[in-house]
Amino acid sequence: MEHNKVAVIGAGLMGSGIAQACAQAGYEVVNIDTFESAIEKAKANIEKLFNKKVAKGSMTEEKKAEILGRLTYSGNFDDVKGAFLVVEAVPEKIEIKKDTFKKLDAAADPETILVSNTSGLSISEIASVTNRPDKVMGAHFFYPAPVMKLLELVRGLVTSDATYAVVKEFAAKIGKTTVDAPEYPGFLVNRILVPMQNEGAFMVMEGCKPEDVDNAMKLGCNHPMGPCELTDFVGIDVMLATMTGLYNGFHDSKYRPCPLLETMVKAGHLGKKSGQGFYKYDENGNKIQ
Ligand SMILES: NC(=O)c1ccc[n+]([C@@H]2O[C@H](COP(=O)([O-])OP(=O)(O)OC[C@H]3O[C@@H](n4cnc5c(N)ncnc54)[C@H](O)[C@@H]3O)[C@@H](O)[C@H]2O)c1
């Protein structure tokens, strides 16, 4: 099978960016979403982004037309036919992932590799609903997908060496650096990053000022954002859910979510998106305190 067509399932925040990265790298791409509104939004966003690049002079009209010419959209799973690789980026719910992989297994060519961009669900569980678990693995992109260099590669229990090799080659072609991550909650980055944010919350709970926690990590460790700022940015509820996932997945008390995060979520203090987290934000999302 030729390795020139990629299908991306889900045209949301991640799927649309992954489709863009693949089209920019020279692949023929079909971006499939069950919601027409999501497809319209993805199309409008990439047009707007590329028009800005053309206006700034960082992309020519010809290049824009060439890349957009390789990128098509569809609401039909049958359009995965002919793709050597399918990247799934539908919502992070195991029932939706399993349903999607069942449909993909039925619609894709038998030799097609199916990868999931899940942030932490079990690859082996997702693979188990297909008749090709050896051709299923995780490829965890970071937001924004066309820009962020890292791709975490996650093998399920029975992912074959041949599947891994094809996905690694694909990663290199789209300009990503890969790391091998274990199939455990949080994979690699979130397993290290999220407990650090959680520890920052514990320190605030113990009386430290959020700005002291943030300045310590920015000025002492050269982090671009402090743990409290980052938690506000991601969302206190999202952060609590990820930490709870680590705790439930490992059954280890070292991952216990900070009670302050639970109280903040109950109070509706969800971070930047609600206007109040560790800091206060105005209606434009600018920090005011
Ligand atoms: N947002 C991030 O920063 C980030 C980073 C890395 C990984 N992820 C993971 O990527 C995946 C997608 O996240 P997102 O932030 O892009 O979500 P999103 O909500 O922005 O996009 C999901 C898209 O899937 C579509 N969809 C829903 N059900 C579908 C179905 N059955 N078939 C096809 N399309 C369907 C929706 O219309 C939507 O466009 C999740 O697994 C998430 O954990 C997210």
Among residues 129, 158, 181, the one where a domain terminates is: 181
Q: Catalytic site residue 190?
A: yes
> Is residue 149 domain-shared with residue 263, that is, in the same domain?
no
Q: Which of 190, 198, 229, 269 is catalytic?
A: 190
Residue 233 lies in a domain: yes
Residue 120 is predicted with a pLDDT of 87
Provide the phi-psi class of 57: left if phi over 0, else alpha when psi is between -120 and 50, else beta. left
Residue 129 is predicted with a pLDDT of 98
User: Among candidates 252, 278, 125, 271, which has minimal Cα distance to 191?
Assistant: 252
> Is residue 148 domain-shared with residue 38, that is, in the same domain?
yes
> Is residue 254 domain-shared with residue 147, that is, in the same domain?
no
> Is residue 124 domain-shared with residue 265, that is, in the same domain?
no
3-state secondary structure (DSSP) of residue 138 = strand
Q: How many CB atoms lie within 10 A of CB 101?
A: 26
> Is residue 93 domain-shared with residue 214, that is, in the same domain?
no
Which portions of the chain are predicted below pLDDT 50?
Answer: none
> Is residue 22 domain-shared with residue 56, that is, in the same domain?
yes
Q: What's the CATH code of the domain at 257?
A: 1.10.1040.10
> Is residue 170 domain-shared with residue 198, that is, in the same domain?
no
> Is residue 223 domain-shared with residue 251, that is, in the same domain?
yes
Q: What is the pLDDT of residues 262-287, one digit of tens each?
A: 999 999 999 999 999 999 999 988 99
Among residues 181, 211, 226, the one where a domain terminates is: 181
The verdict on the CB of residue 33 being under 6 Å from ligand 1 is yes
> Is residue 52 domain-shared with residue 93, that is, in the same domain?
yes
Residue 50 lies in a domain: yes
**150-155 and 177-181 as β-strands: parallel, antiparallel, unpaired?**
parallel
Report the separation in Å between the CA atom of 39 and the middle of ligand 1, taken as the mean of its atom positions.
12
Q: What is the pLDDT of residues 189-200, one digit of tens each?
A: 999 999 999 999
Does residue 136 contact residue 162 with C-beta atoms inside 8 Å? no
Mutate to test the pocket of ligand 1, among 119, 148, 151, 188 (most ligand atoms within 8 A of CB): 119
Q: Catalytic site residue 119?
A: yes
> Is residue 175 domain-shared with residue 194, that is, in the same domain?
no
Distance CA 169, CA 23 (A): 16
User: Among candidates 179, 185, 153, which has minimal Cα distance to 252?
Assistant: 185
The verdict on the CB of residue 45 being under 6 Å from ligand 1 is no
> Is residue 194 domain-shared with residue 58, that is, in the same domain?
no
3-state secondary structure (DSSP) of residue 28 = strand
Report the domain count for the chain: 2
Residue 289 is predicted with a pLDDT of 64
Residue 285 lies in a domain: no
Residue 286 lies in a domain: no
The verdict on the CB of residue 270 being under 6 Å from ligand 1 is no
Q: List the domain range (segments joined by +) for residue 137.
A: 5-181
Residue 280 lies in a domain: no
Residue 238 lies in a domain: yes
Residue 173 lies in a domain: yes
> Is residue 12 domain-shared with residue 48, that is, in the same domain?
yes
Residue 264 lies in a domain: yes
Among residues 129, 154, 181, the one where a domain terminates is: 181
Distance CA 244, CA 250 (A): 10
Q: Ligand 1: which residue has its CA nearest to atom 11? A: 89
